[in-house]
Structure 1
Amino acid sequence: MSQRKMQLPLYLLLLVAWIPKAIFCQEQSNTEEQTTQANHGLAYHKIRPANSEFAGRLLKFLVSENPHKNVFFSPLSISTAFAMLSLGAKTSTLTNLLEGLGFNLTELQEREIHKGFQDLVHLLNTTEDKIQLESGNGLFIDNQLEPLQGFLDDVKNLYGAEVFAANFKDSEGAKKQINDYVDKKTHGKIPELLKSLDASTVMFLINYIFFKGNWKISFNPTLTEMQNFYVDKNTTIQVPMMMKKERLYYSREDELFSSMVVLPYEGNVWLILILPDEGKLEQSLNSIITKGGITCSRFTKKRKVNIYLPRISISTTYDLEEVLPKIGLRDVFTNDADFSGISTQFKLQVSKVLHKAAFEVNENGTVAAAATGIGIQRYIAFQPIIMNFNRPFIVSLMDTNIHQHLFLGKIVNPTDKY
């Protein structure tokens, strides 16, 4: 069939859905890491530098564009979705897409990139019983579009994508179909993502990440009280401030203008919190980005910490088709985009990229056994460190199993949703 000279939109929906207690860094023994590498090779290690570079580049831009707003997103979700989309890209569109994601195509072949993401998709869905971490991809294709079989095979085999037929001319029906899928994958936490849907859509790609975990030692809700949170010099709000005393991994980082603390979950999962020095939020963020982010290796010693942390309930939504061209990922959004690897039936371009994230932190969690080391004798003489997160702070997510940034952000207002 000859190619019709018409632009039909591809939609990408990127979800970071419902992360009840979720900034985390998984601890892993050498034996466990060796077993993981033996099972999956080193493919995901090869894409780690590019994913980290892309994460820092996007974080820097989002923070600069939203100086007074919360920033929270999953760089890995975005990278995975566009890497999967690249299976259908050709010529300069493919080159710009992969280079826009941070890959050096003179050092890394395209098949190595996809193998790396294939490993990541598998590892993200291989977790302990004590935590719930799910990631996946869904592809809704209009029944007027005839995708190439090779593209369908690759998205299924490499990215584990679920593929569904849809009728986008019935925009209400297609919207319900997609919303129902998202509702199910996010366990009811995002029941109605789409308010409307363009009837000219021919393909809708969804990537989601869902996490749920419990504290090893929960916050006592009877100690939570309303306290001031200083959004900026001119804005103070009242927030429910949680409090507990615990022996925690702590690190003072002068070069990053910040102090850091780790809150552990069950299942060897960490919540890493970064408190910039007073008035040093921008310098701290810039230093973190330029010095490669936060790694679990920074945390080697435990200290007695009195931690004050606000309950957090935020959501963010980004129209990334307006953002990504400004950090180098351009061609997929233009009339010259080449997605002939998806279908030769129509000329396609990406017209919408929606990224939505939800994040909540509260007191709930399972109290761990007393063998948490709180009473270790050699630390008793130290005065407790006070970490009071009553001003904007940074959250950094790292899974040491795969050494990838799963989530990044800054919390300016712990109650703001937009």
Structure 2
Amino acid sequence: MCGPRRPEADFHVSENRTVRVPMMHRENLILPYFRDEELACTVVELKYTSNDSALFILPDEGKTPDVEAKLLPETLRWWRSFLRPRWITELHLPRFSISSNYKLHDILPKLGFNEVFTDKVNLSGISDTEDLLVSQVTHSAALEVNEEGTEAAGATGIDLNIRSLEVIAVHFDRPFLFAVILNDIQSIIFLGKVTNPGNRPQQ
């Protein structure tokens, strides 16, 4: 038996292409929000159930390459410093999953790990096997965004005069960027771009 059908909405992959994708819809939220007029993008922060957070960056139409070029750690820190609680009347965000595998054989030596793939490496601390060598290091990363994994911050302790606030609706219905941040150490652990949430996760 099939479960309940999830609501779908249009996602504009490009100027000439639109796909239907499962879309989360929330109303009347108080969320950290920032409108960057210089880079022409909107930034919203959502809290995860683990108390970590994710920044979702929505470039204005045609501005994605410009925002991507400025997507540096200092830019993310600057955005976060300007985030303020705002009343969001509507938030539309597609459900999506992303996964990737990275082979680090060429990357680690550039970071100073020059002996890890040679016979000079000493791995006696992790194995009693003699002549143990590292032939390859692979890093896997995966992220899934849905109602269960992401929850909007509540309004506890925030007193706002709704009548004086600008009405804000944020629709992530075109390509956008995101960064997952580990709040305990203020470190970016996942950085990505969603161009077509209707595609299957990468293998």
Q: TM-score range by the shorter chain?
A: 0.7 to 0.9
| Distance change in 2, residues 1:223/1:251 (3 Å) | farther
Given candidates 286, 308, 311, the residue that maps to 2:92 is: 308
Q: How many Å separate the matches in 1 of 2:112 and 2:16? A: 38
Deviation, structure 1 residue 261: 0.8
Contact 1:242/1:309 (8 A) holds in 2: yes
Q: How does 1:316-327 map to 2 (within 5 A)?
A: 316-321=100-105, 324=107
Contact 2:46/2:153 (8 A) holds in 1: no
Match of 1:132 in 2: none
State the SS of the aligned residue for 2:161: helix
Contact 1:305/1:386 (8 A) holds in 2: yes
Match of 1:341 in 2: 122
State the SS of the aligned residue for 1:363: coil
Q: How many Å separate the matches in 1 of 2:75 and 2:132? A: 39
Contact 1:304/1:383 (8 A) holds in 2: no
Deviation, structure 1 residue 406: 1.9
Match of 2:9 in 1: 227
Contact 1:396/1:408 (8 A) holds in 2: yes
Deviation, structure 1 residue 389: 0.7
Alignment of 1:364 with 2:153, yes or no, is no
Q: How does 1:229-248 map to 2 (within 5 A)?
A: 229-245=11-27, 246-248=29-31
Deviation, structure 1 residue 232: 2.9
Q: How many Å separate the matches in 2 of 1:373 and 1:331? A: 48
Contact 1:228/1:236 (8 A) holds in 2: yes
Match of 1:404 in 2: 187
Opposite residue 67 of structure 2, the aligned amino acid is S
Q: How many Å separate the matches in 2 of 1:404 and 1:358? A: 17
Greater Rg by CA: 1
Match of 1:210 in 2: none
| Distance change in 2, residues 1:297/1:282 (3 Å) | same
| Distance change in 2, residues 1:368/1:285 (3 Å) | closer
Deviation, structure 1 residue 236: 2.6
| Distance change in 2, residues 1:263/1:366 (3 Å) | closer
Match of 1:416 in 2: 200
Alpha-carbon RMSD across the aligned residues, in angstroms, is 3.7
Opposite residue 346 of structure 1, the aligned amino acid is D
Q: How many Å separate the matches in 1 of 2:57 and 2:153? A: 27
Percent identical:
35
Contact 2:115/2:121 (8 A) holds in 1: no
Opposite residue 71 of structure 2, the aligned amino acid is I
Deviation, structure 1 residue 274: 1.0
State the SS of the aligned residue for 1:282: helix
Deviation, structure 1 residue 265: 4.0
Match of 2:41 in 1: 258
Q: How does 1:372-387 map to 2 (within 5 A)?
A: 372=156, 376-387=159-170
Unaligned runs of 5+ in 2: none
Q: TM-score, normalised by structure 2?
A: 0.74
| Distance change in 2, residues 1:316/1:377 (3 Å) | same
State the SS of the aligned residue for 1:236: strand
| Distance change in 2, residues 1:354/1:232 (3 Å) | farther
Match of 1:111 in 2: none
State the SS of the aligned residue for 1:291: helix
| Distance change in 2, residues 1:310/1:289 (3 Å) | same
Q: Number of residues paired by the alignment?
A: 192
Point out the structure with the larger helix share.
Answer: 1
| Distance change in 2, residues 1:371/1:277 (3 Å) | closer
Q: How many Å separate the matches in 2 of 1:392 and 1:233? A: 11
Unaligned runs of 5+ in 1: 1-221
Contact 1:333/1:351 (8 A) holds in 2: no
Deviation, structure 1 residue 413: 2.2
Contact 1:339/1:347 (8 A) holds in 2: no
